[in-house]
């Protein structure tokens, strides 16, 4: 491996490039002497500032990156698992090589006046285009107002400063990655704001046949992140949501080693919440994911999801 050059492709947002730097640093420890090069790509999701469902929604942050990998313009793609569609297989010819150790999965509130979520006055405008975040706020804090806001985290902070919203909800891990944890006024517990599937996990993706590279980078993988991500993505695969369906959930390797998966499906107005929480016990992670999805389907998740415009 030592003499080889690994070309790493990723989105070109500050957060994505920070993620690549983490991968390069971990690679340098595991395989000293490996040379790496960054191939930044701007994705549809970065260019289009309108509704994501208008640009096929899912895959908008990964499509061009995967295309560069498949075209041989790069050897290794770094993705946020959260951004990788789970309702369909990975693009043919590609495979996951590793899931890195998981970062904070929680969402953070950013309020320039320093207030906490429960202290925000009625009518406070929360900048978010996330159906997961707005449905949960509608359920728990119906006096707050969600206003659409897209763009990478740095741009959203600029829009907040420009007065386009009074507060933001962003992933704590993302703010850490862009070096702005200072703006966080409150980190929301998963009970208050259930995280998205894949939160805080970075995936390394390679060409399927590139076994030498897959072997080389698989050492960066984290076993707990692998179990949690496998359960969460199988859950989402079985549930078959669409880009307007508010779905949240997270798996957790617990202290005794057992894996649990909690998941929720909401109506956009937050008035209906379906909830499931199961433990794997002797089951493998994928079977846990299937079981939790089936449990929500038995509660009416299919009708709820299909009833939301998309
Ligand atoms: N949609 C953009 C995106 N993709 C992944 C993260 C957060 C980092 C992660 O969960 O890996 C973010 C930003 C955000 O939701 O605030």
pLDDT on residue 50: 77
Q: Whose CA is nearest to atom 8 of ligand 1?
A: 174
Nearest ligand 1 atom, CA 175: 16
Instruction: Tell me: pLDDT of 103 over 80.
Output: yes
Q: What's the token pair of residue 185?
A: 């006024």
Distance CA 309, CA 251 (A): 28
Distance CA 49, CA 237 (A): 27
Residue 8 phi, psi dihedral angles, 5° rounding: -105, 120
* Portion of the chain with pLDDT greater than 70, in percent: 97
Do the two domains 5-100+201-221 and 107-187 of this chain adopt the same fold? yes
Structural domain boundaries in the chain: 5-100+201-221, 107-187, 232-305
pLDDT tens-digit map of 150-170: 899 999 999 999 999 999 999
- What is the model's pTM? 0.95
pLDDT tens-digit map of 254-275: 999 999 999 999 999 999 999 9
Strands 107-110 and 202-207, by their bridges, are unpaired
The answer to whether 229 and 195 are in contact (CB under 8 A) is: no
For residue 4, what pLDDT band results from cuts at 50, 70 and 90? confident
Question: Mean pLDDT in the chain?
Answer: 95
Largest CA distance in the chain: 60
The answer to whether 65 and 43 are in contact (CB under 8 A) is: yes
The pLDDT of 89-101, averaged and rounded, is 97
| Third-level CATH fold of 5-100+201-221 | D-Maltodextrin-Binding Protein; domain 2 (3.40.190)
- DSSP symbol at 123: T
Residues with CB under 6 A from ligand 1: 80, 82-83, 153, 170-171, 173-174, 199-200
| Ligand 1 centroid, distance to 3 Cα (angstroms) | 34
Instruction: Tell me: pLDDT of 190 over 90.
Output: yes
Nearest ligand 1 atom, CA 201: 11
What is the best residue among 15, 84, 151 to mutate for testing ligand 1's pocket, by most ligand atoms within 8 Å of CB? Answer: 15
The answer to whether 210 and 62 are in contact (CB under 8 A) is: no
pLDDT on residue 54: 63
Instruction: Tell me: pLDDT of 95 over 60.
Output: yes
ipTM of the complex: 0.91
pLDDT tens-digit map of 213-251: 999 999 999 999 999 999 999 999 999 998 889 999 999
The pLDDT of 178-198, averaged and rounded, is 98
- How many CB atoms lie under 10 A from the CB of residue 161? 10
Q: Measuring CA to CA, which residue among 62, 13, 18 is closest to residue 173? A: 18
| Ligand 1 centroid, distance to 170 Cα (angstroms) | 7
Instruction: Tell me: pLDDT of 2 over 50.
Output: no
For residue 182, what pLDDT band results from cuts at 50, 70 and 90? very high
pLDDT tens-digit map of 109-143: 999 999 999 999 999 999 999 999 999 999 999 99
The answer regarding whether domain 232-305 maps to CATH 3.20.20.70 reads no
Helix extents (H) in the chain: 14-30, 44-47, 63-70, 131-140, 153-161, 172-177, 211-218, 223-239, 285-298, 301-306
pLDDT on residue 1: 46
Nearest ligand 1 atom, CA 202: 11
- How many CB atoms lie under 10 A from the CB of residue 173? 24
Strands 167-171 and 125-127, by their bridges, are parallel
Strands 167-171 and 107-110, by their bridges, are antiparallel
The verdict on whether 83 is a catalytic residue reads yes
Q: What's the token pair of residue 285?
A: 């992670």
pLDDT on residue 31: 95
pLDDT on residue 117: 98
Q: What's the token pair of residue 194?
A: 């259930």
All residues at 6 or more sequence positions from 200 whose CB lies less than 8 Å from its CB, including other chains: 102, 103, 104, 105, 171, 173
Distance CA 244, CA 267 (A): 10
Distance CA 31, CA 257 (A): 30
Distance CA 129, CA 165 (A): 12
The pLDDT of 276-299, averaged and rounded, is 98
pLDDT on residue 56: 58
Distance CA 52, CA 48 (A): 8
pLDDT tens-digit map of 11-64: 999 999 999 999 999 999 999 999 999 999 998 888 877 777 666 567 888 999
Nearest ligand 1 atom, CA 19: 11
Report, in this order, helix, strand and coil percent for the chain, each rounded to 5: 35, 25, 40
Q: Which of 46, 83, 107, 166 is catalytic?
A: 83
Tokens 């399927």 sit on residue: 208
CA end-to-end distance (rounded Å), the chain: 46
Q: Which CATH superfamily is domain 107-187 in?
A: Periplasmic binding protein-like II (3.40.190.10)
């Amino acid at each position: 491996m030592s003499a080889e050059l690994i070309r790493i492709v990723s989105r070109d947002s500050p957060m994505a490039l920070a993620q690549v730097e983490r991968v390069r640093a971990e690679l340098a420890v595991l395989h000293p002497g490996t040379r790496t090069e960054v191939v930044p790509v701007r994705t549809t999701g970065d260019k289009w500032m309108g509704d994501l469902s208008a640009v096929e929604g899912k895959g908008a942050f990964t499509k061009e990156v995967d295309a560069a990998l498949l075209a041989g313009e790069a050897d290794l793609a770094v993705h946020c698992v959260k951004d990788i569609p789970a309702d369909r297989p990975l693009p043919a010819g590609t495979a996951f090589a590793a899931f890195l150790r998981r970062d904070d999965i929680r969402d953070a509130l950013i309020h320039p006046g320093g207030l906490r979520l429960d202290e925000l006055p009625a009518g406070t405008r929360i900048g978010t285009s996330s159906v997961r975040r707005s449905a949960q706020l509608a359920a728990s804090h119906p006096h707050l107002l969600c206003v659409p806001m897209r763009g990478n985290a740095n741009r959203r902070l600029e829009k907040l400063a420009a007065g386009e919203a009074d507060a933001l909800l962003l992933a704590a891990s993302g703010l850490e990655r862009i070096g702005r944890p200072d703006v966080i006024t409150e980190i929301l517990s998963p009970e208050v704001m259930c995280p998205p599937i894949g939160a805080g996990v970075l995936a390394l993706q390679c060409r399927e046949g590139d076994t030498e590279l897959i072997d080389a980078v698989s050492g960066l993988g984290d076993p707990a992140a692998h179990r949690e991500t496998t359960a969460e993505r199988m859950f989402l695969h079985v549930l078959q949501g669409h880009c307007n369906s508010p779905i949240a959930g997270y798996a957790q390797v617990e202290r005794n080693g057992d894996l649990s998966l909690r998941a929720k499906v909401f109506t956009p107005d937050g008035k209906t919440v379906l909830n499931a929480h199961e433990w794997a016990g002797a089951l493998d992670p994928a079977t846990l994911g299937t079981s939790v999805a089936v449990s929500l389907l038995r509660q009416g998740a299919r009708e709820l999801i299909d009833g939301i415009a998309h």
